[in-house]
Structure 1
Amino acid sequence: MVAAALCLSLVAGCAVGGDDDEDSQLLTVFAAASLTSAFTRIAEDFERENPGVEVRLSFDGSSGLVDQIAGGAPADVLASADVRSMDRAVAEGLVSGEPVEFATNILTLITPPGNPAGITGLDGSLDGTRLVVCAAAVPCGYAARALAASAGVELRPVSEESKVTDVRGKVSSGEADAGIVYATDARAAGDRVEQIPIPAADSDPNRYLIAEIDRPGATGTGSADAGPAGSGPAGSGPAGSGSDPARRFLDAVTGEAGRSVLADHGFGPP
């Protein structure tokens, strides 16, 4: 039985494989909170296929993850839920090679079971309700505001969260009347929430990107036989070759098996 993957402490981290083994090679992956279930599954499969490599997952809002890496937090791989956060990581010299888009996601409204506030969509029915959204700096929050603006709707949330899973949690617990989350989060909540699709969201999905972290000592850098990061199609060439765990993990995410896991969790193709 693997350990729970949701882990926000940079000190403790979160090892998918359980207890540390002094002979294992640690691979630390920072990933957007909306990837929690899918990346936990991918990491489990990766460990089985790569004996001696232990994957440690840390989930948070994408902008927060970039803040942490910029501040010196140890990480080997970054997977963001938007282009803006990855662009910032590239601009600040935090990643190695060209980031690879590996999935897409769309926004949706969720309510507690029974929709007690009578929400009908991204419209005036949200006025006066306990609406919860992601903070503007977080990909789901930025996208929600852009979507609302295009629909001519002013969002008046009672709470702004640092990650999308917290929005989902407040709605599923009944603390909020409605929340704007990714479709994958609504799917993961099952019958603990009701979903109200936002049709306009289909035309402008969030794009997910992944890259190796460029820092001294990172397992994702310095492999003599692995070739330059991003030097070939994801999962099919030099970017995933060699003995480097970070590059192999990128292959696992962007290759056929990873795409299948992501699709199973409701993500769209890149």
Structure 2
Amino acid sequence: MRRNTFSAVAVLAAATLSLAACGGSSSSGTPSASSSSGPSGEITVFAAASLTGSFTNLGKAFEAENPGTKVTFSFGPSSGLAEQIDQGAPADVFASAATKNMDQVVEAGNASNPVAFANNTMEIAVPADNPAGVDSLDDLTNKDVKVVLCAQDVPCGVSARAVFKNAGITVTPVSNEVDVKSTLSKITLGEADAGLVYVTDVKAAGDKVSGIEIPADDNATTTYPIASLKNSKNADLAQAFVDYVLSDKGTAELGTAGFSKP
């Protein structure tokens, strides 16, 4: 603006036009354009315990790519999470370690159109020094070998028992744990000689445990479905997170953790 060229009225008009060109601002001081730039707000994701590592990483990456969003996770056994959802627990997304538990939520009218996003298989986990000398499924039938499993109504417990059925063996556990993380903890702490967990959990444990592969003919695979929930208070953000899990970036992160494509 040149010196003394415009009147005070012209100066005011120019200032008004300048603000309009910049998009103005909302009452909170945030540019109004931001409201249409992408998802915002918070969501809570209920996810199977076996997804703890990969989903924690995906949540951080999602937040970084979508400033102004926050993803809070509640990890646990899929069966328990499904019950909580059907009882009205506030959640926006459900990622289950079994189609059975997702079907329960869908049948209750709390979700629709779930999509499979990963597969997982079982593996024998033993303490790093393998004190019981376990090297096969048959060794788990030895009464002197302390075996720990997930509870039989939890997906990892269902899969473990399917493995034993496929192998034609009977295994009596010393304890049945609430989820796969609790099962693995018993092994890393030396409170059990062996247990059946997912291959992803053996990988996540690093050098704390050793993994023993289960023959393909005996092994069991579980499929993980994901869906946004009908009672979500932020449906757009919930669906955006689901889409992110299903994206190439989500698939890559899950693959790094040891999951396979469904």
Counterpart position of 1:132: 148
Number of matched residues? Answer: 222
Q: Please say if residues 106 and 202 of structure 1, whose CA atoms lie closer than 8 Å, have aligned partners that are also in contact.
A: no
CA drift at 1:52: 1.3
Instruction: Output aligned runs, 1:247-266, within 5 Å.
Output: 247-266=239-258
CA drift at 1:124: 4.1
C-alpha separation in 1, matches of 2:178 and 2:153: 8
Is 2:110 the partner of 1:90?
A: no
C-alpha separation in 2, matches of 1:193 and 1:40: 22
Select which of 62, 67, 92 maps to 1:76.
92
Q: Please say if residues 147 and 201 of structure 1, whose CA atoms lie closer than 8 Å, have aligned partners that are also in contact.
A: no
Letter in 1 for 2:91: A
Cα 1:125/1:249, change in 2 over 3 Å: closer
Counterpart position of 1:34: 50
C-alpha separation in 2, matches of 1:258 and 1:248: 12
The answer to which structure has the higher helix fraction is 2
Select which of 127, 130, 133 maps to 1:112.
127
Q: Secondary structure at the match of 1:199?
A: coil
Is 2:259 the partner of 1:267?
A: yes
C-alpha separation in 1, matches of 2:166 and 2:118: 24
Counterpart position of 1:218: 233
Q: Secondary structure at the match of 1:93?
A: coil
Instruction: Output aligned runs, 1:12-51, within 5 Å.
Output: 25-51=41-67
Q: Please say if residues 130 and 176 of structure 1, whose CA atoms lie closer than 8 Å, have aligned partners that are also in contact.
A: yes
CA drift at 1:201: 6.5
* Structure number with higher relative contact order (C-alpha < 8 Å, ≥ 6 residues apart): 2
C-alpha separation in 2, matches of 1:252 and 1:106: 23
Q: Please say if residues 127 and 156 of structure 1, whose CA atoms lie closer than 8 Å, have aligned partners that are also in contact.
A: no
In the alignment, structure 2 segments of 5+ residues that lack a partner are 1-39
CA drift at 1:113: 1.3
C-alpha separation in 1, matches of 2:61 and 2:206: 24
RMSD: 1.4
Identical positions, percent: 46
Counterpart position of 2:75: 59
C-alpha separation in 2, matches of 1:159 and 1:203: 21
TM-superposition CA deviations, 1:46-99 (whole Å, max 9, x none): 10111111100000010010011111111000000111111111111121x310
Q: Please say if residues 133 and 179 of structure 1, whose CA atoms lie closer than 8 Å, have aligned partners that are also in contact.
A: yes
The structure 1 segments of at least 4 consecutive aligned residues displaced by more than 6 Å after TM superposition are: none
Larger Rg: 2
- My pick for the range that moved more, 119-128 or 145-154, is 119-128
Counterpart position of 1:198: 214
Q: TM-score, normalised by structure 2?
A: 0.82
CA drift at 1:118: 1.4
Q: Please say if residues 79 and 208 of structure 1, whose CA atoms lie closer than 8 Å, have aligned partners that are also in contact.
A: yes
